[in-house]
Each structure stands twice: as structure tokens, then as C-alpha cells.
Amino acid sequence: MSIEVKVPQLPESVADATLVSWHKGPGDRVSRDENLVDLETDKVVLEVPSPTDGVLKEIRIQDGTTVTSGEILAVIEAGAAAAPEPAAAAAAAAPSEPAATAAPSDESAARSDAADKLSPAVRRLVEEHGLDAAMIPGSGRDGRITKADVMQFLERGPAPAVSPSSAPAAAAPPPVAGSRGERRVPMTRLRTRIADRMVEAQHAAAMLTSFNEVDLTEVMRLRKQYRDGFEKKYGVRIGYMSFFVKAAIEALRKFPVVNASIEDHDIVYHDYHDVGIAVSTERGLLVPVLRNAESMSFADIESSIVDYATRARDGQIQIGELTGGTFTITNGGVFGSLMSTPIINPPQSAILGMHKIQERPMVVDGEIRIRPMMYIALTYDHRIIDGREAVQFLVSVKESLEDPARLLIQI
Amino acid sequence: MSDKYDVIVIGAGPAGYVAAIRAGQHGLKTACIDKWKNYDGSTAFGGTCLNAGCIPSKALLESSELYHRAREEFSVHGISTGEVSMDITTMQKRKAGIVKQLTGGITALFKANKVDGLQGSGEFLGEGKVRYVSHDGAERMLEADHVVLATGSEPIELKSVPFDEVTVVDSWRALEFDAVPPRLGVIGGGVIGLELGSVWKRLGSEVTVLEAMDDFLFMVDRQIAKDALRQFKRQGLDIKLGAKVTAAEVGAKGVTLTYEDKTGTQQLEVDKVVVAVGRRPYTDGLLGAGTGVELDERGFIRVDDECRTGVDGVWAVGDAVRGPMLAHKGSEEGVMVADLIAGEVAEVNYAVIPSIIYTAPEVAWVGKTEEQAKESGLPYKVGTFSFAANGRAKGMEQAVGMVKIIASADDDLIIGAHILGPMAGELIGEIVLGMEFSASAEDLQRTIHAHPTLSESVHEAALAVDKRAIHAINK
């Protein structure tokens, strides 16, 4: 059956869009969600995904034409796709990659403890070779350095075998045996836009990242306890995001400057909290916004996120839902990220990064207990947010999550 | 006493009673069922170790060695005595007193840790249910979230030489002789056979040890085993290797043992025979039908390396499961299981478990033998040091044997240690600790050992690994 592809709803401030270029021609097979055409507005470059599998029958509007909302761009004859669906789990776009060099500063505190407990042979080797024991990874009991560790270290040089955040982002791919060709692929409009915005963010803001860690035992306990009841009542699962949004908002209340933005030389404080939730799609990172999130209940938050995620995947998100936002939460944990330094979404002043929940041995009341831990990161604009606020913001988020009762009594 | 527990342990030997005490320390409501009965009908906790093995044998080994040294060695010191005699009844009474004190100690520890010690049999019926029948016949159905099976092992009986409890006996009865047998045949030249043989030899028996294998102490490092054999033979223990006993005939004058060695069929006349050819896991009456707990082809309860049987909430530890049949291995498994039940992280490091033979000289070892090191293909280096050169040992008139340390030639990691000599069982502890911390030979070399001590030999052996012993000529 024939399906019309229309220009999506443009936001109020945008009158029209320019059709930049068609990626598919008449007679081409198209798959559901595949990008058909780019429309450029002042704010964003919109990609228009195919609503269905099938064949592009007719293109109604040519490159370079100005279009308005609702105009018919093309017609598709729906039918089963020959090509398989693009994989749903695409690698996340820009901001959440590993912080390789951040590791030593956290690890060296633990290392210097073990570094104090050097066995006689290790002491001799360290002294003989003028080594810094803190740099030597220890494979012995409690991370102690054995003689073998030192011997290996001397042989190999300082290659940290124990660092948890590996995956050097800039690793060159191994050369293909034989062929030495290149492929030049122009960036999509969306990719270009993202690239520009990332650099703009870096240049404009004085960005740095502060970290903390959260023990999610209590959150997990609550989720488990109320899982069935919540789902029964609201028809949506109680996830982690609602807790995180709530905790973030509580912290934003305490530190309003984190919710503010800079315009020229003014700091604009917002009395509302429009929290963007970063969602990864194959086309790239989208950040739909929860408007007035401070008024939303746990169920509202969860169902909104589910709704956004579904529509983002289906290419059904309206531009209006992507703009604005006073603060953003991003979650690299779903892809396995342990720790990262997210990039701020201008004109916002901060972004909260969630990561993988990993069971770690922690000291609780003087004893070692296994706890589900998550590192959290706040990248913030130091032009208006000081270290004190950033650190305490994270502490507030941590405390709210470790003791959710605080969210209830707003302390 | 209610019938619902957090943990029920079946068996109160060193694995079971330790598991129960540790569970009690965690605040878990624990019961420990044990059916041990002594020959006199009395009941006691502690299993084979306290009642019929480790403890009574060490008591007799000590008494018999003192007797031996008084008779043979005192004159060397310039000490003269009259005729030194011994009274077996008093000796046995002392032994029994020690056993009673220690088994009573377990009762006290149970009480202190709020463990219900229940004497009688326990049968696991599955789904956390245990049928407990006390010695007077009263039956109670108990229930627990976790059941720990710790029923231990029993001596293996030879079909060709069956026990008659009087002249052909197992190791337990061999500890209970009320008179010194003039001629004693020991079938099995392993740890238990050698210890029992030593006891009665010193007390006056003519002892012949018949070992079926051609190798003496096959699990011990060859160099050490060879030296040990020499020492024991010098003491008058007649150890015959490659001797397979095929029949025993009990007559009026004693027992005639028939055995085969490489020269043919032989006969040996003795007054008593001790069969010490090993132990097998004991699970009689333990498992009801359909519990899901499996035994392997040798009768051990199947477990993973956390002692889980695979049935939810059912664990097994000690001699009843795989691994060396050593009390300390069982105890540490008991601790591990109690810790795991309590929700903590726990493990047993099976690679660093020491073994000891309490003969004189003692034999002790941990880690790999030189043969195992060679077989692994990894380059290794060895250092040995004789007690003959150790001042303390000489003063003790026990300058016999050696310390042998094996280390990796690549990274100097200590991979094995073997000691024949005085207090070997105590000395091995230093190296066990070192191996737990991945110590290198150099670590031992650079650790001060007091002088004059036996432990200096450990120090010198470590130095010898790198051919730099001070008190020996390095070759």
C-alpha cells in the first residue's frame, strides 16, 4: 500500500525548512527508520526517516526547495525489506566515552596503601631500580606487589594491567593486510550539527567534570519491593531514571545555578526544571526533554521516558520535544561505561552522567560488603558553577539515592 | 528446642563442628547432629579426629617417643636412669583424658556460640528436612534453610584381610591396644601406618610395614621420601615395599599374613595386624531417597569449589568431599560454607594446604614436589639445607633430615617446600604463610630468622635456592 512521507511538525519559532538532499531515489528499496532526506532549519537539521519498509515510489519535492510542516515529500510503496533492519544497539554518539587517564587519580589512593606493604624482595628491587611502587600493578593478596609483578613491570614498562577503564578511544585499527585504500564519507547533516555543537560547547564553556559514587542498594531494594505494585498501577516499570531525575531535581533545587544558563553576561536562573534525558538512536544522540520535571511523579517520568525512547527509535520525536531543557542526564551505563566525562548540552550549564552498576567490595560499618555501585559524573560550566556547588550537587544526588527518604522529606 | 533452624550440620568432626561454630558466630540458628559412639558406649563430639585419629595418635606418639628417648638417648646426655619402664594403662589413660578434655571443649564451644549439639543420627530427606534420631530412639523432624553434610570418612577394609576387631584391626583399635603386641604387622605404609608403626615400635613391638606400592610415600617429594625411609629403617621399622597382602589367617598363635613381593610369595607371622590402607567417604544413612545430592564414583559427595552440592541450600565439607583428607582442610571448608551462608565472600585456597606425618623425624610439605615441578615444564630452582648443620637441632639431638624449597626460576615464586626433621610440622607454617602472600625465595632470604632455631634451616634453604647459603657449601 502507498504511504506518504510528510515534513514533520516544525517548532513554533521555525517557519519553514529547506530540503537539503535526498538520500534515496525513486525505485530504491528503503527500510523502516532509514534516513530518506535532510531538512535544514535554523535550529536543527532534521532527518526524515522512512516510516516503513518498502520501495520509494515517488519524490514530490526536489533538493533546495523550502517546505513547511505537513507537506508531502514522497510516497513509499510498503513491502517487506530485503535488507535486514539496522541494528538497534548502535554505539552511543559522542559524549560518553571512557576516561582513560582519569583512572590513576582514583586508583592511586588505593594503590599507595598496598604500596606501603612491600615485601623484602620488592623493596630491594624498587630501590635498586629507582621505581615508584605506586605505579606497579600488584597481583598479590589485597593488591600487594609481588616480586614477579616488579620483574614484569621492568620488562614491559608501565602498562597498567589493572585499570578498569580501558578502550583507548583513539586506538588505530589494525592495518588490513594488503589493501591500503581510503573511503571518504561526507558527514550527515545531523552528524555535522552534532560535531559543531560539541566544539561550540567546548569553546564556550569552562568545562570540567567532578565524580562521585553511589551505593544503589536502597534504590534496588525499593524497586524490588514495589516493582509489581508499581507496574500494576501505572502500566510501566519502575526504573532507575525516575530515581535519578528526582535526585537530580532535588539537587538542582539546592544549587539553582546548576539549572541556570549564561546569556551574554547574564546568568539566567530558571524556576522550572526541564530535564533532558539523552537517548541513543542509530542516527545519533537525541535529548528529549521532560518539561517541568519537578512536577512529575515517578510514574510520569518513567512513562515519558518510555514514550520518548519508543518514538525516538521510530523517528517520531517532534523538534519541540528536543529543544529547551535546563539540565541533562545521560546514561552510558547501558553500554557498559564505568566512568566518563559527558559534554554539556549548550546553553545548559551542566550534565549528569550515570554509568554501569557494578558490584564492588565496599567498607560498610567497618566490614567489607559487596554493594552495587555506580560512578556518577557532573560535567559543569565553571564560568558560573564553582567546584563547591558541583561537588555538593553530586553529594546531594548520592545522598538522595542512598537514602531515598530524603526525596520524600526534601532534605 | 524448636525444630526450625537456619543451618543444620550433620557430623561434628573438625569440618562439621567448625562449620557449626562459625555459623553460630554469624548469628545463624544452628544445630549440629553427630552420632559418634566410643567403644565404651559414650558419645562425644569431634568425630574421627578427636576420638580416633589426630588427637589420640599424637598423644601416643609423644608418650612413646619420650619413652624411646629416655631409654636410648638419655645416656648420650649423661643422664642415667635405672631401667626405664612404661605402663600402657597409664599411657592410654592420659590419652583418653586429653581426648575427653578436647571433646568436652567442643560442647562448651557449641554452648558459647548457641549451637544446639544433638547426639544421634541425622538423615537428610531433601527440601531442608532432617530426620534426627537421638541415641535413645526419640525421633524429631528438623528443618533448616541450609544443611551442611559433614559425615567424614571411615577406614577402608581389605576383603582379603577383613577386620575381626581383635587381631585384625583398623587404625582406631590400633590406638586402643591395652597391651603392647610383641609382633605387629601394619598393612599400608602411608601416613597412618607409619605413625602407628612408630608408636608400637617405640613401645617395644617388632613392627613390619607392608606397603603394596613400589614407591615409599608416593605423594611426597622423592628426595625427602628417600631420606625418610632411610631414617625409619634405622629406627628398626621393617618397611617392605611392593608387598601386596593377599591373605590373613588368624590362628591360636597369632596371624599369618601372606603377601607377594617381587621375589615371590612370602609369609609373616604377627600377633596383631593393623590395616591402614586408606579411608573412604562415609555417607551411610545420610541421604534419603530423591534428595538430588549426588555421590561420585568413589563415594564422595559431589560439590563445586564452594562446597555446594548443586541442590539449593545443601552443602558438603570435609572427608566426605573431594580433596586431601585433612582436618584443617575440612575445617576451612566448614568456615567457607558458614561464611557463604551468611552472605559473605569466602573461599578455600586448595593450592596451599600443608600435610604432616608425625613420625620422628616429622615429614611436612606444601605445594609442588620437585617431580611435579619437573612435570609442569616450568623452569625451577631448588635449595636444600640439612639439619645436620643446624645448631639447635644438634643441641636437641635431632639433627636429622633437611629443608627443601622449590622456587620458579622465572620469577622466584616459592612453589613448594618439603621438610624432614624435628618440628617439621611447625616449621612448614612459615612457608604456608609465605605462599599465601606469593612470597619469593628472596623474600624468605631477606627475612630475619632468629638464632639459634630450627627455622634457620628454612632461611638457609631459601638462600640455597640461589646458591648462597652461608652455613653450607653451595654446589
- In this structure, are residues B55 and B96 in contact, taking their beta carbons and an 8 Å threshold? no
Which positions in chain A touch B410 (Cβ < 8 Å)? 148
- How many Å apart are CA A316 and CA A311, to the nearest integer? 5
Neighbours of A309 (CB within 10 A): 17
Cell of B175: 590406638
Rounded Cα–Cα distance for residues A142 and B436 (Å): 11
Q: pLDDT band at residue A211, thresholds of 50, 70 and 90?
A: very high
CA pseudo-torsion sign A301, A302, A305, A307: negative
Q: Is B233 helix (H, G, I), strand (E, B) or coil?
A: helix
Taking residues B353-361, report their average pLDDT. 97
How far apart are the C-alpha atoms of B276 and B211, rounded to whole Å? 10
| Among A159-168, B8-17, B27-36, B152-161, the least confident range | A159-168
Residue A34 clears pLDDT 60, i.e. is over it: yes
User: 3-state SS of chain A: helix, strand, coil percent to 5?
Assistant: 35, 25, 40
CB B195 within 8 A of CB B61: yes
CA atoms within 13 A on the CB side of B140: 16
Backbone angles phi, psi at A377, to 5 degrees: -130, 140
Query: Strand, helix or coil at B57?
Result: helix
Of the CATH numbers 3.30.43.10, 3.40.250.10, 3.30.559.10, 3.90.1570.10, which one belongs to the domain with range A190-409?
3.30.559.10
Q: What is the mean pLDDT of residues B240-244?
A: 97
The distance of B411 to chain A (nearest Cα, Å) reads: 5
Q: Which of A327-341, B31-45, B206-220 has the lowest mean pLDDT?
A: A327-341
Considering only alpha carbons, which residue of chain A is nearest residue B409?
A: A148
Residues 6+ apart with CB under 8 A from B314: B124, B146, B147, B149, B291, B292, B293, B308
Q: Nearest to residue B57, comparing CAs of B215, B149, B175, B150? A: B175
Q: Report pLDDT digits (tens) over A369-395.
A: 999 999 999 999 999 999 999 999 999
C-alpha B254/C-alpha A55 separation (Å) is 102
User: Considering only CA atoms, which of B204, B327, B326 is closest in space to residue B271?
Assistant: B204
Task: Please check whether residue B459 is in contact with residue B445, taking contact to mean a CB–CB distance below 8 angstroms.
Answer: yes
| pLDDT value of residue A58 | 85
* Option in B411, B412, B438 nearest A141 (CB): B438
Task: Judge: B345–A370 Cβ closer than 8 Å, yes or no.
Answer: yes
Q: What is the CATH number that goes with domain A101-156?
A: 4.10.320.10
Are the CB atoms for B428 and B354 separated by under 8 Å? yes
CA distances from A212 to A106, A275, A320, B139 (A): 11, 20, 33, 58
- Mean pLDDT of the region A114-124: 80
Q: At what angle do helices B456-465 and B424-436 cross, to 10 degrees?
A: 50
| CB contact at 8 A, B417 and B363 | no
pLDDT digits 0-9 by tens, B295-349: 999 999 999 999 999 999 999 999 999 999 999 999 999 999 999 999 988 889 9
Q: Which of A282, A343, A330, A345 is nearest to A47 (CA)?
A: A282
Closest CA to A350 of A373, A383, A322, A319: A383
Band (pLDDT 50/70/90 cuts) for residue A81 is: very low
Residue from A127, A147, A217 to probe the interface with B (highest B Cβ count within 10 Å): A147
Read off the pLDDT band of B445 (50, 70, 90). Answer: very high
Q: Which of B413, B436, B442 shows the shortest C-beta gap to A120?
A: B442
Encoded amino acid at B85, one letter: S
Q: Of A348, A316, A334, A319, nearest to A92 (Cα)?
A: A334
**Preceding peptide of B452 cis, ω within 30°:** yes
Interchain CB distance below 8 Å, A139 and B413: no
Q: How far is CA B467 from CA B365, B461, B475, in A?
A: 22, 9, 7
CATH class of B361-465: alpha beta
Interchain CB distance below 8 Å, A120 and B438? no
Q: Around Cβ B128, how many Cβ atoms within 10 Å?
A: 18
SS3 for B337? helix
Mean pLDDT of chain B: 96
Residue in chain B lying closest to A138 (CA):
B438
Q: Is there a contact between B413 and A361 if contact means CB atoms under 8 Å apart?
A: no
Rounded-to-10 torsion of CA A53, A56, A62, A68:
-40
CB B301 within 8 A of CB B295: yes
B4-155+280-350 is classed in which CATH architecture?
A: 3-Layer(bba) Sandwich (3.50)
Q: pLDDT tens for residues B193-217? A: 999 999 999 999 999 999 999 999 9
Residues of B in contact with A122 (CB under 8 A): 443
Check: CB of residue A235 under 8 Å from CB of residue A257: no
Residue A386 bears catalytic tag: yes
Q: Which residues of A touch B25 (CB under 8 A)?
A: none
Cα B144 from Cα B282, distance rounded (Å): 22
**B412/A147 touch (CB, cutoff 8 Å), yes or no:** yes
Q: Measured between alpha carbons, how far is A279 from A285 in angstroms, rounded to an integer?
A: 6
**Is residue A169 over pLDDT 50?**
no
Nearest-Cα residue of chain A relative to residue B437 = A141
Q: Provide the shortest C-alpha distance from residue A137 to chain B (in Å).
A: 14
- A154 touching B (Cβ < 8 Å): no
Q: Strand runs (DSSP E) across B205-316, as ranges? A: 206-210, 238-240, 244-250, 255-261, 264-270, 272-275, 279-281, 314-316
Q: Is A382 a known active-site residue? A: yes
* Dihedral sign from CA coordinates of B179, B182, B183, B189: positive
Q: What is the gyration radius of the CA atoms in chain A, in angstroms?
A: 25
Count the neighbouring beta carbons within 10 Å of the beta carbon of residue A27.
9
Residues from chain A contacting residue B447 (CB–CB below 8 Å): 120
Q: What is the pTM of this model?
A: 0.61
Of B410, B436, B440, the CB nearest to A121: B440
- With CA atoms as reference, report the closest residue to A274 among A283, A284, A265, A261: A261
Percent of chain A past pLDDT 90, that is, above it, reads 38
The Cα A101–Cα A339 span in angstroms is 11
| CB proximity B446 to A under 8 Å | yes
CB contact under 8 A, B440 and A146: yes
> Chain B, 412-431: which have a CB under 8 Å from a chain A CB?
412-413
| Domain parsing of chain A, residue ranges | 2-78, 101-156, 190-409
Q: Hey, do B4-155+280-350 and B361-465 end up sharing a CATH topology, with the first three levels equal? A: no
Give B-chain residues touching A141 at CB under 8 angstroms. Answer: 436-438
How far apart CA B183 and CA B95 sit, in angstroms, is 23
Interchain pair B442, A124: CB under 8 A: yes
What DSSP element (H or E) covers A231? Answer: helix A217-234
Mutate to test the interface with A, among B413, B443, B447 (most CBs of A within 10 A): B443
CA angle, A325 then A331 then A334, to 5°: 150
Please tell us whether the domain made up of A2-78 is placed in CATH 2.40.50.100: yes
* B446–chain A nearest CA distance, Å: 6
Q: Hey, what amino acid is at B370?
A: E
Please give the share of chain B, as a percent, with pLDDT higher than 90. Answer: 98
Which strands make up the sheet holding B355-357, listed edge to edge? B355-357, B362-367, B414-421, B402-408, B380-386
Instruction: Determine whether the interchain pair A148/B436 forms a contact, defined as Cβ–Cβ distance below 8 Å.
Output: no
Whether B62 has its CB under 8 Å from any CB of chain A: the answer is: no
Contacts of A121 in chain B (CB under 8 A): 412, 440, 442-443, 445-446
> So what's the pLDDT on residue A13?
62
Non-local (6+) Cβ contacts of B304 within 8 A are B310
d(CA B337, CA B19): 7
Report d(CA B449, CA B461) in Å as an integer.
Answer: 12
Q: Where are the domains of chain B?
A: 4-155+280-350, 168-277, 361-465
Q: Which residues of B touch A368 (CB under 8 A)?
A: 345
Name the average pLDDT for chain A.
82
Q: Which of A83-92, B222-231, B271-280, B378-387 has the lowest mean pLDDT?
A: A83-92
Label residue A167 by pLDDT band (50, 70, 90): very low
Neighbouring CB atoms inside 10 A of A256's CB total 14
State how far residue A141 is from chain B, nearest Cα, in angstroms. Answer: 6
Residue among B68, B449, B451, B471 flagged as catalytic: B451
Q: Touching check for A151 and chain B: CB below 8 Å?
A: yes
Task: Quote the CATH superfamily of domain B168-277.
Answer: FAD/NAD(P)-binding domain (3.50.50.60)
pLDDT tens for residues B126-140? 999 999 999 999 999
d(CA B255, CA B167): 7
Size of interface A-B (CB pairs under 8 A): 49
Contacts of A26 (CB under 8 A, 6+ apart): A56, A57, A58, A59
Q: Is B261 on the interface with A (CB under 8 A)?
A: no
CA distances from B449 to A149, B74, B432 (A): 25, 30, 16
CB within 8 Å: A119 and B439: yes
Closest residue of chain A to B440, computed from CA coordinates: A147
Nearest to A120 among B411, B413, B447 (CB): B447
Residues of chain A positioned with their CB less than 8 A from the CB of B436: 141
| Confidence band for A265, pLDDT divided at 50, 70 and 90 | confident
To 10 degrees, the CA torsion angle through A400, A401, A403, A406?
Answer: 30
Give A148's contacts in chain B (Cβ within 8 Å).
410-413, 438, 440
Rounded-to-integer distance, Cα B121 and Cα B469, Å: 57
- pLDDT attached to residue A113: 57
| Average pLDDT of span A212-225 | 94
DSSP type of residue B70 = H
